[in-house]
Structure 1
Amino acid sequence: MWLHASCSLEFNIPVPTPFLLMLRPRSGRQQWVAREQYVLSPSVSVVEFTDSFGNLCQRLVAPAGYFSVHTSVEIETADVSDMGPGANFVEVQQLPDETLPFLYPSRYCESDRFNEMAASLVAGQAAGYDQCTAIVDYIRNTVTYTPGEGQQIISASELNELGHGVCRDMAHLGIACCRALSIPARMVVGYLESLEPMDLHAWFEAYVGNRWYTFDPTQVGLQGGRVAIAFGRDAADVAIYTQFGDPVNQLNMQVNVERMAEPPF
């Protein structure tokens, strides 16, 4: 399917402030970027670089006063994310080098605290994809999804105690349990066509069967167009914007995702 997705951010900046933005999706296995727009108002100088996870990042200094960022993309994406029941577990010594950072505990995914719990959740499941599915089923059945309420980032351990959270928090728990089983897992932030209420969305991917597969504890299935914007170890790596120095006032944020009737050409 073809999607038109956009994100608009508005700020009141007290003093010139350095920003790091992460709002440009890349073409990849299940998405192809056909056209983009990236508008800053007022216009400022931007330096783009690729971070250690392959994300496209933009550095800039926002001037004092009103400042806005508007990005949009026309992109072809899969109708349904690939699934792989039975996909095998990949022995650590056989994993590609680039997957290894996603095996370690991280700030919000304390996988070293989930060894016993993860093992109990997947008892009787074939090693690999089926274990990830059992973890997602546990999260979906025991954690209440509360979209729009998660202003403060919480870790996998904190979510497991609270029992309710947003998509980002539920992804943290899935990642932590997968890593506890020596399955590489990473956070993904992006757009989801069918999301209600509309916002940016977070899910996770696990590396089994020699490739990355999508898992989303907040959705019963994997239908609907997904657009991945950023990948990382947890939420600390995939913030769509980070500002440095004195806090700024975010005035507004608006996300829109629409299916296009035909390709944009």
Structure 2
Amino acid sequence: MKRDVGAELDVEITAPTTLEFQIAVAPQPGAAVTESLSFILNGKEIPAADIQEITGEHGNRIHKFEAPVGNLKATYSASVVGQAEPAPLRDIDLSTYLRPSRYAEADKFYGFAATEFGEFADSATLLEKVSSWVGTRLSYVPGSSDPIDGAADTLLAGAGVCRDYAHLVIAVLRAVNVPARLVSVYAPGCQPMDFHAVAEAFVDGQWRVADATCLAPRQSMVRIATGRDAADTAFLDNHKGSINLNNMVVTATVDGELPRDSVDQLVSIR
């Protein structure tokens, strides 16, 4: 499988700031990756020496730099040939990803989740049931949620976008003792095309992906960043100053036909 992914962001900086981008794919051991990344500020490319690449948890790649007032254009492209090895497991993950977090407040769902899903014992069944339940309970409505909304807000609203679906899946899974986390991905076939967010749960000895939106086949997704929730995986963070995102274009394609997906399959991001 060959996957071509990329992103172009046009950012207006209205007050000097520090920017952090998470748009580059995570390390893909076992797959061949060619990529390019550039930042053009006021018509001039920012030198590589002025950009700090920070490696976060799970290989998240954060590109950080100081930016004065002006127009910034960020451009990233990558080709991924083959499939990466399954995501590794650390002992701490099975603790971290059972805890409540900023947008996946599992502690608010203990009683509710026990009532809705208490009859299911094994994690594979829970993953399928929770993902399907969220997919039918919510309506995908762009612009319907606020960036600060958590899983409880999403459940009450009954609508959201991909990150909202993922947060609700994660919160409910954690509430029934299944470790779960959020992954930002490039998702070939996704409509509308954008940076996509999915849930990932530890099931049958591996991290398995759940996409309650069913907007793209899971088999062709490419990992960008992994974390507790969207607070750890944002494609752009702004510290100190002020910015406006003028435009963003995300692309993700496969060479050939898209894989066929079914919600009852156990799939890993590779």
Class of the TM-score when normalised by the shorter of the 2 chains = 0.7 to 0.9
Structure 2 SS opposite 1:70: strand
Structure 2 SS opposite 1:188: strand
Determine the structure 1 residue equivalent to 2:35.
Answer: 36
Structure 1 SS opposite 2:23: strand
Is 1:158 aligned to residue 158 of structure 2? no
Determine the structure 1 residue equivalent to 2:220.
Answer: 225
TM-superposition CA deviations, 1:16-60 (whole Å, max 9, x none):
32111111212347x734200101103221011112343111110
Q: Relative to structure 2, which stretch is displaced further, 11-20 or 175-184? A: 11-20
Do 1:103 and 1:184's aligned partners in 2 also have CA atoms closer than 8 Å? yes
The counterpart of 2:254, out of the listed 234, 255, 259, is: 259
> Shift in Å at residue 152 of structure 1?
2.4
For the residues of structure 2 that align with 1:157 and 1:151, how far apart are their CA atoms?
13
Structure 1 SS opposite 2:57: coil
Please identify runs of 4+ aligned residues in structure 1 that moved more than 3 A: 147-151, 220-224
> Shift in Å at residue 117 of structure 1?
1.6
CA-based RMSD of the aligned residues comes to 2.2
Q: Which TM-score applies when normalising by structure 1?
A: 0.85
How does 1:37-186 map onto structure 2 within 5 Å? 37-42=36-41, 43-44=45-46, 45-76=50-81, 96-147=91-142, 149-150=144-145, 152-186=147-181
Q: Relative to structure 2, which stretch is displaced further, 185-194 or 43-52? A: 43-52
TM-superposition CA deviations, 1:109-150 (whole Å, max 9, x none):
110111122122223323211111111111111111124554
For the residues of structure 2 that align with 1:49 and 1:166, how far apart are their CA atoms?
28
Do 2:16 and 2:242's aligned partners in 1 also have CA atoms closer than 8 Å? no
TM-superposition CA deviations, 1:186-215 (whole Å, max 9, x none):
001111111111111100100121210010
> Shift in Å at residue 221 of structure 1?
7.7
Determine the structure 2 residue equivalent to 1:87.
Answer: none
Is 1:16 aligned to residue 21 of structure 2? no
For the residues of structure 1 that align with 2:252 and 2:146, how far apart are their CA atoms?
22
Identical columns (%): 30
Determine the structure 1 residue equivalent to 2:184.
Answer: 189
TM-superposition CA deviations, 1:239-264 (whole Å, max 9, x none):
01101123212111111112236xxx
The alpha-carbon distance between structure 1 residues 194 and 77, as it changes in their structure 2 partners (threshold 3 A), is: farther
Do 1:194 and 1:224's aligned partners in 2 also have CA atoms closer than 8 Å? no
Q: Which TM-score applies when normalising by structure 2?
A: 0.84
AA in 1 matched with 2:52 = V
For the residues of structure 1 that align with 2:126 and 2:204, how far apart are their CA atoms?
12
AA in 1 matched with 2:39 = L
For the residues of structure 1 that align with 2:215 and 2:133, how far apart are their CA atoms?
12
